[in-house]
Chains A and B, each alone.
Chain A
Amino acid sequence: MRTLRRAWRLRSARIALAVLALVALLAVAGGALAPHDPLAQHPADMLQGPSGRHPFGTDYLGRDVLSRLLAGTGLSVAGAIEAVGSAMLLGIVPGIASVWLGRTVEWTAQRAADTLMIMPFTVFAIAVVGALGNGMHQAMLALGVLFAPLYFRVTRAAALGLKQAQYVEAAELMGASRRWILRTHVWSKVLPTVAVTTAQAVGQALLVVASLTFLGLGVQPPAPTWGGMLASDLGYLAQQPWAPLIPGVAIMITVGALNILADAIRDSSGGQEQASPAEAPLPALSPPAAVGSALAPVVAPKEVEDRVTTG
């Protein structure tokens, strides 16, 4: 909590949070704020440029782009949050369990994490949607499963370092229960790492959700999403070359704010900086880099984990 409070004092963190609050507001109330019906087609005003009536112009069916952008916020953001939420659940619990519950659990969890880390997001999501049905929940569950190793690795790395900390050993020797140690010592130290990871993961998930909706996965066509808007703009680049920039900038601002927030939390976590392993070397990173290496356990992660324990 102290870390989060310290992060709040940074101006960049406050700006990022303000942007995110705005996005959250649009996600909840975007449909109501939209000036036009996002699905209403007006064949007479197809592919119009920005005007007073349509600030961002209209698309190939004459639908108002601003309204679609506002109404699409909800689906895009909800998708990303659903994916990251399931990833947290699937990653944090095994991450802590793998440190305390013995070697079998540890080995199994690590191999499972290795396996999930080599799955390419889009290919796996297409397969899941193809096998289990084309719905937002199926697609987001697939993403959640693939994002889980991210949480697994950072929680595990943080917990691994703590397990050997002297005050944890002291607490163990004095007869503290495992649950008490986890709650009192471990959780508060893991929390900043989890916060950093979450900010990054939501940003990354937004990008993947945009890719998936761009491919037409997870949503049915008339429903507006940021990725879906990009897909429909693609056919009319000759007439409206600037059109993809509108949903593109929306994605960019949201993801950028999340990345800045992640950096701010990490910077203000001070001593904890080293405890979030591979994040230290990279200023702003995508999850694969944050995670240490998937199948390259020979060099990099070892160095990373060493740094964790000594730092």
Chain B
Amino acid sequence: MTAPASTSVLPPPRKGAWLIPLARRLGAAPRPLGRVLTTTVTVFLLASLLTFALGALSEANPAAAVLGDLATPADIARMEAQFGLDRPLYAQYLSWLSHAIGGDLGVSWFTGVPVADSVAEALPVDLSIAGLALLLAVFIGGGAGIAAALNNGGRIDRTVTLICSVLATLPPFLIGIVLIVVFAVQLGALPTGGYIPIGENPGQWLRYAILPAFALSLDAAASLARQLRTSLVGALRENYVTGAQMRGFSARRVLFGHVLRNAAGPALSVLGMSVPLILGGAVVTEKIFNLPGIAQLSLQSAEQHDIPVIQGTLLVTICVVLVANIAVNAALAALNPAARRPAGTRTGAGDVTASSGEGGTR
């Protein structure tokens, strides 16, 4: 599941092919995207090293984990040999990483089930919920942000700002609990928990997924709304807006055709940053709504000190975040022409900007 995704995105040529309609635009800016890919690879390697280090630092070993106090030194040695834990650490890391890139995350110490299979079973639950949450966040947050910016200083603006501030103080799972109380316990309109795969019955899936997704989306929607409001208010003051208005363009065309396009960049970055938050929040949400996802898997494996499963789930989650980041970066580059010429124009702009630009990009 993981590895094909990460490997297929890594080589730059494939990247261009992947985005054929955008190829011409992106062609003008191979450098920033190339830099994103280099960063992604570095970050992936560092993250995998960290993930592996967790296992290496752990005192857990398969024999003690499975047999408990009954484990004899001979058992420990035999099982360590069986799982390859008697080799030097660098060899273990290299073989673990190369297998992981090939889609093999090892087998669970307890059940002997391949980790990749368990993850492949659990991941769609989180991905579908998180995807729905992201969609809701874009609509709710985007709508609220635009409304607040157009109403700058007015009642809607203040209401949105207030709601966003309150949301920032709430643990996201509290919202989930409140939603259960209102919609499931009091109104009885929706189930309190459980899950049906989207492939089986999309209507039923939505019934089960809407509450957790809504609970998850609010946090991201709040940060999106705040960021979008701020950049829109700034963009609306620009001269080109006055110019467009004077030329008689309708307010809608100015907003969607000109302003939003320029102001959406930072908001999109915020959305990209909320992906790890949504995935992390999904873990708690899963527990509240009793969904059979990654959280159940990793919590159970953490309880049993089942290192291969712990490492596998963490690595897969990291890959999901990285892929989402690449998508956000591609969207940013496609959206905003100015984003595609940072390096060239800024180096000439004088010492200060040049070196600060460097600092920001590396």
Contact = CB atoms under 8 A, between A and B. Distances in A.
A199 B336 CA distance: 34
A295 interface: yes
Given A120-B317, A241-B185, A296-B332, A131 B54 contact: yes
B360 A301 contact: yes
Interface stretch (A3-11, A22-30, A58-66, A247-255): A247-255
**DSSP class of A's interface residues: helix, strand, loop or mixed?**
helix
A279 B177 CA distance: 30
Contact of B43 (A115, A216, A302): A115
A215 interface: yes
Sorting the interface of chain A by its residue count into under 10, 10 to 19, 20 to 34 or 35 or more gives 35 or more
Interface in A172-195: none
Contacts of B299: 126, 215-216
B177, B288, B362 — most chain A CB neighbours (10 Å): B177
Interface stretch (A32-40, A84-92, A264-272, A280-288): A280-288
Nearest to B301: A130
Interface residues of B, number: 95
B360 A284 contact: no
A282 B269 CA distance: 14
B272 A203 contact: no
Contacts of B328: 296
A122 interface: yes
A120 B165 contact: no
A69 interface: no
B178 A244 contact: yes
Given A114-B39, A259-B169, A283-B161, A106 B362 contact: yes
A161, A241, A289, A291 — most chain B CB neighbours (10 Å): A289
Given A251-B171, A282-B227, A286-B219, A119 B318 contact: yes
9 contacts: A123-B313, A127-B298, A127-B314, A134-B303, A230-B174, A248-B177, A288-B277, A296-B269, A301-B360
A237 to B, nearest CB: 5
B16 interface: no
A186 to B, nearest CB: 16
Interface of A: 106-107, 110-112, 114-115, 117-124, 126-134, 156, 160-161, 164, 203, 207, 210-211, 214-217, 227, 230, 233-234, 237-238, 241, 244, 248, 251-252, 255-256, 259, 281-286, 288-289, 291, 293-306, 308-310
A114 to B, nearest CB: 5
Contacts of A216: 299
A306 B346 CA distance: 10
Contacts of B197: none
B223 to A, nearest CB: 5
Contacts of A284: 164-165, 168, 226
Contacts of A132: 54, 57-58
B191 to A, nearest CB: 13
Interface of B: 32-33, 35-36, 39-40, 42-43, 46-47, 50-51, 54-55, 57-60, 161, 164-166, 168-174, 177-178, 180-181, 185-186, 192, 219, 223, 226-227, 230-231, 265-266, 269-270, 272-274, 276-277, 279-281, 283-284, 287-288, 294-295, 298-299, 301-303, 305-307, 310-311, 313-314, 317-318, 321-322, 325, 328-329, 332-333, 336, 339, 342, 346, 351-353, 355-357, 359-362
Contact of A237 (B181, B219, B279, B318): B181
A281 B186 contact: no
B318 A118 contact: yes
A167 B33 CA distance: 37
Nearest to B266: A300
Contacts of B284: 122, 211, 214-215
A215 B357 contact: no
Contact of A230 (B177, B303, B339, B346): B177
A130 B339 contact: no
A305 B357 contact: yes
Contacts of A215: 283-284, 287, 295, 299
A111 B279 CA distance: 22
Given A127-B54, A251-B174, A294 B227 contact: no
Contact of A234 (B36, B288, B342, B357): B288
A306 B360 contact: yes
Nearest to B226: A282
Given A237-B181, A306-B356, A281 B47 contact: no
B333 A298 contact: yes
Nearest to B312: A127
